[in-house]
């Protein structure tokens, strides 16, 4: 899966779960996009379902920005 | 000096109206809100009818909510938010000019977010536990109606969610009244909310044989006190009352619907669902409420019955009313709001309190519809089918619930 494909799928999940369709890759989920902890869990659940991967609790803290999430997914689906 | 509690605002989300005006007109004209269930295909369930709230959209009441935010709120809490915003507007209160710690929220629910729970269980069974929504718990627990209303309006005082099954709405209003009387709050948004018309919700009551199976005549199925009643009809919605300390209300020139005079609660201590056969705890709850409020028995001009349309409830409630009021029972009009809206479970006591206060305000008693044949066990004046003008000084409203809980509230014209 290419980076572009991951980003495109992420965009769809993110909009479905948060209603947010405009963001920059460096945006922080909490500070810039206004998510709360449950909102992040919801996005993570969407990522797990869409990419068929599992995100263990200890990794959730790594997903702080759109960019970090995309890179995490890319690494996992490799 | 004793603090007096009055009602200064009301909001309603019901199968027969989402404004006080529509609710009142439909109640007074005897319009049924019961139909075949639309929310899902009820085929296969013995009871396929309900009083549903149709075309409800929280964003019509609170446009500032985003679609994705609304998804985080179960239907029962959405009803409560809408009804509370309507009640707030109706009250003329300006929360920004009040101490938020003196304003509370007591919105009951008998069941909570069962629609959410059912959806998430289905996901877990079909796709595994990792697919369960992180919002599940925060959507389904019964105190979330209170929580959302507190958040939405910024109410930081007393907050609670009494769960007493089908008496929950009555308990909430009674509890709120007591909290204001004892001085712990000046204003409380009190009421009940329920949204349990879901396959598992309906199937559970149907399995207990509590529901009417008159599927071919939905609008005639809820027929409290009629000889041919065959069970209750589920309803959904919310009722919220702004309860306010009298001097506080007077000072700001608030319009007053009536006074909440008294509240009592007892328990049958008999059976999980069936009422105590001799109705003693029901008789006692009405007597306690009358005594506590020093209510002259001959000034009770109306009783809003629990009146579910089940064989046992209506018979035993009738007997209990006769045991309390003696011969006078025959000259007090007794009617059932459930004949029109169905049984709103934990919201029933609240939407019926709204009905009772409209009756007091307008001096017009709404009918019990679908009353066609007299049952020898139910021989009071149930205001059959057509409402009537009558002065109402005091009105008593009963709500009884599974688990044997009994509540009586007394309202007074002011």
B225-260 pLDDT per residue, tens: 999 999 999 999 999 999 999 999 999 999 999 999
* Number of domains forming the structure of chain B: 1
Mean pLDDT, chain B, integer? 97
- Compute the nearest-CA separation of A26 from chain B (Å): 23
B288 occurs within a structural domain: yes
- Quick one: tokens of B309? 């349309």
Report, as an integer, the average pLDDT of B38-61.
97
CA distances from B237 to B33, B81, B234, B407 (A): 12, 11, 11, 20
What is residue B266's three-state secondary structure?
A: strand
Domains observed in chain A: 3-77 (1.10.1200.10)
Among A45, A51, A61, which Cα is nearest to A6's? A51
- Compute the nearest-CA separation of B139 from chain A (Å): 12
Question: What residue numbers bound the domain in which B73 lies?
Answer: 1-404
Supply φ then ψ for residue B198, to 5 degrees.
Answer: -140, 155
The pLDDT assigned to B284 comes to: 98
CA distances from A70 to A50, A65, A74 (A): 13, 9, 6
B157 occurs within a structural domain: yes
Residue-wise pLDDT for A7-56, tens only, equals 999 999 999 999 899 999 999 999 999 999 899 999 998 999 899 999 99
Residue-wise pLDDT for B252-309, tens only, equals 999 999 999 999 999 999 999 999 999 999 999 999 999 999 999 999 999 999 999 9
Q: Do A38 and B67 touch (CB under 8 A)?
A: no
Closest residue to A38, CB basis, from B127, B131, B138:
B138
What is residue B241's three-state secondary structure?
A: strand
- Compute the nearest-CA separation of A16 from chain B (Å): 8
Q: Do B134 and A18 touch (CB under 8 A)?
A: no
Q: Do B68 and A18 touch (CB under 8 A)?
A: yes
B311 occurs within a structural domain: yes
- Quick one: tokens of B184? 């712990």
Alpha carbon dihedral B396, B413, B22, B58, in 10-degree steps, equals -80
Q: Reply yes or no on whether A36 is catalytic.
A: yes
Percent of chain B with pLDDT over 90: 97
B381 occurs within a structural domain: yes
Q: Please give the radius of gyration of chain B, using alpha carbons only, rounded to the nearest integer.
A: 20
Q: Are strands B300-304 and B334-335 parallel, antiparallel or unpaired?
A: parallel
Do residues B161 and B108 touch, judged by C-beta distance below 8 A? Answer: yes
Do residues B397 and B304 touch, judged by C-beta distance below 8 A? Answer: yes
Q: Do B69 and A19 touch (CB under 8 A)?
A: yes
Q: Write out residues 125-154 of B within 8 Å (CB-CB) of A.
A: 127, 130-131, 133-135, 138
Question: Best of B59, B68, B126 to disrupt the A interface by mutation (most A CBs within 10 Å)?
Answer: B68
The pLDDT assigned to B68 comes to: 83
Helix H or strand E segment including B312: helix B311-325
Q: Write out residues 21-80 of B within 8 Å (CB-CB) of A.
A: 66-69, 72
Helix H or strand E segment including B407: strand B405-412
Half-sphere exposure of residue A38: CA atoms within 13 angstroms, side-chain side: 13
Closest residue to A45, CB basis, from B69, B72, B131:
B131
Alpha carbon dihedral B57, B53, B355, B190, in 10-degree steps, equals -50
Do residues B34 and B221 touch, judged by C-beta distance below 8 A? Answer: yes
The pLDDT assigned to B356 comes to: 98
Residue A46 with chain B: CB contacts under 8 Å: none
Instruction: Determine the Cα–Cα distance for residues B7 and B360; give it in Å rounded to an integer.
Output: 12
Report, as an integer, the average pLDDT of B149-161.
98
Q: What single DSSP character describes residue B53?
A: P
Instruction: Determine the Cα–Cα distance for residues B268 and B281; give it in Å rounded to an integer.
Output: 5
- Compute the nearest-CA separation of A5 from chain B (Å): 23
Among A37, A35, A36, which Cα is nearest to A57's? A37
Report, as an integer, the average pLDDT of B118-143.
94
Do residues B12 and B19 touch, judged by C-beta distance below 8 A? Answer: yes
B410 occurs within a structural domain: no
B413 occurs within a structural domain: no
The span from the first CA to the last CA of chain A, in angstroms, equals 8
Residue B189 clears pLDDT 70, i.e. is over it: yes
Asked if A4 reaches chain B (Cβ–Cβ under 8 Å), the answer is no
B414 occurs within a structural domain: no
How remote is the C-alpha of A12 from its chain's centroid?
A: 10
- Quick one: tokens of B349? 């006591």
Question: From B133, which residue of chain A is nearest by alpha-carbon distance?
Answer: A42
- Compute the nearest-CA separation of B382 from chain A (Å): 51
B411 occurs within a structural domain: no
Residue A48 with chain B: CB contacts under 8 Å: 130
Q: Do B130 and A18 touch (CB under 8 A)?
A: no
Residue-wise pLDDT for B193-213, tens only, equals 999 999 999 999 999 999 999
Instruction: Determine the Cα–Cα distance for residues B230 and B375; give it in Å rounded to an integer.
Output: 13
The pLDDT assigned to B379 comes to: 98
- Compute the nearest-CA separation of A2 from chain B (Å): 25
The pLDDT assigned to B67 comes to: 84
Residue B386 clears pLDDT 80, i.e. is over it: yes
Residue B1 pLDDT level (bands cut at 50, 70, 90): low
Active-site hit among A27, A31, A32, A36: A36
Closest residue to A19, CB basis, from B67, B131, B135:
B67
Residue B133 with chain A: CB contacts under 8 Å: 42, 45
Supply φ then ψ for residue A75, to 5 degrees.
Answer: -60, -45
Q: Write out residues 11-50 of A within 8 Å (CB-CB) of B.
A: 17-19, 38, 41-42, 45, 48-49
The pLDDT assigned to B131 comes to: 84
Asked if B269 reaches chain A (Cβ–Cβ under 8 Å), the answer is no
The pLDDT assigned to B8 comes to: 98
Q: Please give the radius of gyration of chain A, using alpha carbons only, rounded to the nearest integer.
A: 11
Instruction: Determine the Cα–Cα distance for residues B325 and B408; give it in Å rounded to an integer.
Output: 14
Query: In this structure, what CATH number is given to the domain that contains residue B286?
Result: 3.40.47.10
Residue B130 clears pLDDT 90, i.e. is over it: no
CA distances from B4 to A37, B53, B408 (A): 44, 34, 18
Residue B40 clears pLDDT 90, i.e. is over it: yes
Q: Reply yes or no on whether B343 is catalytic.
A: yes
């Amino acid at each position: 899966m290419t980076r572009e494909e991951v980003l495109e799928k992420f965009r769809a999940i993110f909009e479905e779960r948060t209603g947010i369709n405009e963001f920059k890759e460096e945006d922080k989920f909490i500070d810039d996009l206004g998510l709360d902890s449950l909102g992040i869990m919801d996005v993570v659940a969407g990522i797990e379902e869409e990419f068929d991967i599992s995100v263990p609790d200890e990794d959730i803290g790594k997903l702080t920005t759109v960019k970090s999430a995309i890179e995490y997914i890319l690494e996992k689906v490799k | 000096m004793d603090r007096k509690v009055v009602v200064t605002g009301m909001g309603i989300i019901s199968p027969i109206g989402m404004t006080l005006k529509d609710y009142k007109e439909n109640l007074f004209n005897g319009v049924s809100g019961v139909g075949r269930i639309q929310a899902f295909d009820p085929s296969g369930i013995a009871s396929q009818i309900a009083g549903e709230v149709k075309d409800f959209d929280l964003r019509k009441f609170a446009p500032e909510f985003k679609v994705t935010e609304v998804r985080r709120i179960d239907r029962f809490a959405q009803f409560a938010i809408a009804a509370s915003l309507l009640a707030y507007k109706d009250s003329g209160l300006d929360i920004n000019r009040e101490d938020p710690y003196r304003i509370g929220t007591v919105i009951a629910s008998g069941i909570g977010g069962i629609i959410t729970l059912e959806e998430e269980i289905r996901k877990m069974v079909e796709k595994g536990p990792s697919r369960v929504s992180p919002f599940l718990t925060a959507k389904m627990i019964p105190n979330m109606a209170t929580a959302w209303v507190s958040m939405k309006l910024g109410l930081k005082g007393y907050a609670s969610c009494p769960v007493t099954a089908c008496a929950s709405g009555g308990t909430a209003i009674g509890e709120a009244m007591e909290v204001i009387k004892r001085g712990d709050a000046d204003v409380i948004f009190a009421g009940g909310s329920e949204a349990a018309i879901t396959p598992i919700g309906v199937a559970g009551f149907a399995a207990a044989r509590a529901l009417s199976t008159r599927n071919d005549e939905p609008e005639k199925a809820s027929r409290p006190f009629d000889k041919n009643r065959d069970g209750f009809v589920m309803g959904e919605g919310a009722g919220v009352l702004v309860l306010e300390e009298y001097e506080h209300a007077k000072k700001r020139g608030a319009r007053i619907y009536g006074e909440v005079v008294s509240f009592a609660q007892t328990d049958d201590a008999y059976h999980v669902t069936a009422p105590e056969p001799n109705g003693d705890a029901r008789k006692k709850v009405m007597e306690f409420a009358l005594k506590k409020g020093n209510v002259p028995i001959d000034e009770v001009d109306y009783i809003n019955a629990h009146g579910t349309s089940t064989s046992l409830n209506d018979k035993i409630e009738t007997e209990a009313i006769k045991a309390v009021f003696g011969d006078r029972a025959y000259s007090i009009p007794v009617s059932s709001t459930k004949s029109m809206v169905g049984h709103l479970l934990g919201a029933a006591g609240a939407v019926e309190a709204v009905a009772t206060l409209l009756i007091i305000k307008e001096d017009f008693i709404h009918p019990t519809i679908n009353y066609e044949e007299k049952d020898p066990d139910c021989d009071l004046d149930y205001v059959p089918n057509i409402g009537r003008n009558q002065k109402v000084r005091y009105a008593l409203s009963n709500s009884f619930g599974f688990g044997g809980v009994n509540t009586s509230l007394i309202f007074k014209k002011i």
